[in-house]
């Protein structure tokens, strides 16, 4: 396909595709799917080889969030029967992180529900970052605490945080359909605050909320402009008890097309398969490793993931290798630029991602696989061993 040859050439040069080209990737047929994966895989291997970075989530505070994000099991008014608990102590969080690090993770993502941290919350998280780093040489720590106020990103950076996650989730035009308690602009502002403080910015999206192809392209192009170092791609987990519980709009094939489009638009950025991969990619997960170079190990915030041992076996069986703590994730030109690399020169670069934000795509949709949505009952906030 001329389209794929063009996209590979652009990806190897870190050149932005056109919107029409990005839309064309999402419109490819199932007969063309392996060609799409192979083409995007060339771009992935150019910048990341066959390495897979493992990340591990620690939910510091679960549930009871005052925000009304429709996709989130921790939202205001959620009837999802998830774990609910207040802040973990630093030693508890460090113990939880240790399980993921022992399983091969090199980054720990510290997440807390809520609109954003108070100054006391920043102190708590700072103590947790120190506890984790004191016990684990070379570990990366990413914080995901919601909307940041002035000066908080700098305090997290001083405490040892390496990165900050705050997802855009969907396009600006449809953002108000999924959340009313804060704005798309609020999210952009927090990503910019993280960038400005010297933190590695992490920002991504949620697919499967009923959005159109145009919405997906809009949010990915917006992410490229923000220039995060990592882009997590979540696939909606339709929790019973949330407004989007009936939104089953994804097939494994569509998930792969979305990941390929993200890779073409953000060729040299850490693309992470995040929440929902087990629910929607299912047996096609190994193919997704040819598109993304990063995954979460084990469980998510409020849902259970694939067993950590199965993750490691999948990576090995697919011919990939786990990225070590002594290896630099980003390509040399991005790593040298630091967390605030120029978007002009460098290219594109929280809560569970799983109102409807657009029409359902005109292709077959999955049957509801509610059997694959399993609420987390182990790990942080419980007396049971975590999945790592």
Binding-site members are 65, 69, 72, 109, 142, 202, 272
Instruction: State the catalytic residue, choosing from 14, 44, 51, 109.
Output: 109
Return the CA Rg of the chain. Answer: 19
The alpha carbon of residue 368 and the mean position of all alpha carbons in its chain are separated, in whole angstroms, by 23
Q: Answer yes or no: are the C-beta atoms of 141 and 107 closer than 8 Å.
A: yes
Catalytic residue among 14, 51, 69, 357: 69
Q: Determine phi and psi for 247, rounding to 5 degrees.
A: -85, 95
282-296, 314-328, 362-376: which range is least confident on average? Answer: 362-376
Q: What pLDDT shows up at residue 196?
A: 96
* Known catalytic residue at 187: no
65 is a catalytic site residue: yes
Inform me whether the pLDDT recorded for 250 exceeds 90: yes
Which among 72, 144, 266, 357 is annotated as catalytic? Answer: 72
Burial of 120 (0-12, 13-18, 19+ CB in 10 A): exposed
- The H or E element that residue 109 is part of is strand 107-112
pLDDT of residue 194: 97
d(CA 17, CA 43): 13
**Annotation marks residue 72 as catalytic:** yes
What residues does each domain of the chain span? 2-372
Catalytic pick among 65, 144, 266, 357: 65
pLDDT value for 81: 75
Rounded Cα gap, residues 260 and 216, in angstroms: 12
Told to judge if 202 belongs to the known catalytic residues of this protein, a careful annotator would answer yes
Q: Which residue has the higher pLDDT, 93 or 360?
A: 93
Four-residue CA torsion sign, 108, 276, 47, 308: positive
Is there a catalytic annotation at residue 266?
A: no
Q: What is the pLDDT of residue 73?
A: 82
37-83 pLDDT, tens per residue? 999 999 999 999 999 999 999 999 987 888 888 888 877 777 777 77
The model's pLDDT over 118-154, given as tens digits with 9 standing for 90+, comes to 999 999 999 999 999 999 988 999 999 999 999 999 9
Query: Which one of the listed residues 44, 75, 107, 142 is annotated catalytic?
Result: 142
List, as residue ranges, the binding site for [2Fe-2S] cluster. 109, 142, 202, 272
Secondary structure (DSSP) of 254-276: HHHHHHHHHHHHSTTSEEEE-TT
Query: Considering the domain 2-372 in this protein, what is its CATH number?
Result: 3.20.20.70
Cα(69)–Cα(76) distance, integer angstroms: 8
Q: Are 107 and 330 in contact (CB under 8 A)?
A: no
CA 385 to chain centre: 24
Q: What is the pLDDT of residue 364?
A: 54
pTM above 0.85, yes or no: yes
In the annotation, is 348 catalytic?
A: no
194 and 157 in contact (C-beta within 8 Å)? no
pLDDT above 90 covers a percentage of the chain that reads: 72
Whole-angstrom Cα distance, residue 262 to residue 265? 5
Q: Which residue ranges are tagged as binding site for [4Fe-4S] cluster?
A: 65, 69, 72
The answer to whether residue 346 scores a pLDDT higher than 70 is no
Contact 115, 66 (CB under 8 A): yes
Q: Which of 144, 202, 255, 348 is catalytic?
A: 202
Beta bridge partners of 107: 55, 140
What does pLDDT average to over the chain? 89
Range of 208-222, 235-249, 336-350 with top mean pLDDT: 208-222
Residue 361's pLDDT is what? 41
| Out of 38-52, 158-172, 291-305, 340-354, least confident range | 340-354
pLDDT reported for residue 63: 79
Q: What's the pLDDT at 374?
A: 77
Could you say which of 44, 51, 107, 272 is catalytic?
272
Whether the pLDDT of residue 350 is over 50: the answer is no
Segments in 108-212 forming alpha helices (H): 119-135, 152-159, 184-196
pLDDT > 90? residue 10: yes
Predicted local confidence at residue 327, as pLDDT:
95
How many beta carbons lie within 10 A of that of residue 332, not counting itself? 10
**Pick from 301, 219, 287: nearest CA to 251:** 287
Residue (of 200, 115, 91) closest to 156 by Cα position: 200
Q: Which residue has the higher pLDDT, 240 or 27?
A: 27
Q: HEC string of 28-68?
A: CCHHHHHHHHHHHHHHHHHHHCCEEEEEEEEEEEECCCCCC
Active-site residue flag, 109: yes
Instruction: In whole angstroms, give the CA distance from residue 85 to residue 308.
Output: 24
Distance CA 70, CA 68 (A): 6
């Amino acid at each position: 396909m001329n389209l794929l040859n063009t996209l590979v050439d652009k990806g190897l040069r870190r050149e932005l595709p056109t919107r029409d080209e990005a839309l064309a990737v999402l419109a490819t047929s199932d007969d063309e799917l392996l060609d799409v994966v192979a083409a995007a895989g060339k771009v992935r291997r150019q910048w990341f080889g066959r390495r897979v970075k493992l990340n591990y989530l620690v939910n510091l505070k679960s549930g009871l969030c005052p925000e009304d994000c429709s996709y989130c099991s921790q939202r205001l008014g959620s009837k999802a029967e998830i774990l609910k608990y207040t802040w973990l102590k630093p030693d508890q969080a460090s113990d939880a992180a240790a399980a993921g690090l022992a399983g091969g993770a090199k980054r720990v993502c510290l997440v807390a529900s809520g609109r954003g941290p108070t100054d006391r919350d920043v102190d708590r998280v700072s103590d947790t970052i120190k506890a984790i780093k004191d016990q684990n040489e070379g570990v990366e720590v990413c914080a995901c605490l919601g909307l940041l106020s002035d000066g908080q990103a700098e305090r997290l950076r001083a405490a040892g945080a390496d990165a900050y996650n705050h997802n855009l989730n969907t396009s600006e035009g449809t953002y108000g359909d999924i959340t009313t308690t804060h704005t798309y602009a609020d999210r952009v502002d927090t990503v910019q605050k993280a960038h400005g403080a010297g933190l590695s910015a992490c920002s991504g999206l949620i697919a499967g909320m009923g959005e159109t192809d145009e919405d997906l392209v809009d949010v990915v192009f917006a992410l490229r402009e923000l220039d995060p170092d990592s882009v997590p791609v979540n696939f909606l987990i339709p929790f019973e008890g949330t407004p989007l519980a009936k939104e089953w709009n994804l097939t494994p094939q569509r998930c792969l097309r979305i990941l390929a489009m993200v890779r073409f638009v953000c060729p040299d950025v850490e693309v992470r398969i995040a929440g929902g991969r087990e629910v929607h990619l299912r047996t096609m997960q190994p193919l997704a490793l040819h598109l993304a170079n990063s995954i979460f190990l084990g469980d998510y915030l409020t849902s259970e993931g694939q067993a950590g041992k199965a993750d490691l076996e999948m990576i090995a069986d697919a011919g990939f290798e786990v990225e070590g703590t002594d290896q630099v994730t980003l390509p040399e030109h991005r790593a040298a630029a630091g967390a605030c690399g120029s978007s002009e020169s460098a290219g594109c670069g929280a809560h569970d991602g799983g109102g409807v934000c657009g029409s359902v795509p005109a292709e077959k949709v999955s049957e509801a696989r509610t059997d694959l949505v399993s609420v987390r009952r182990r790990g942080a906030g419980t007396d049971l061993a975590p999945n790592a």
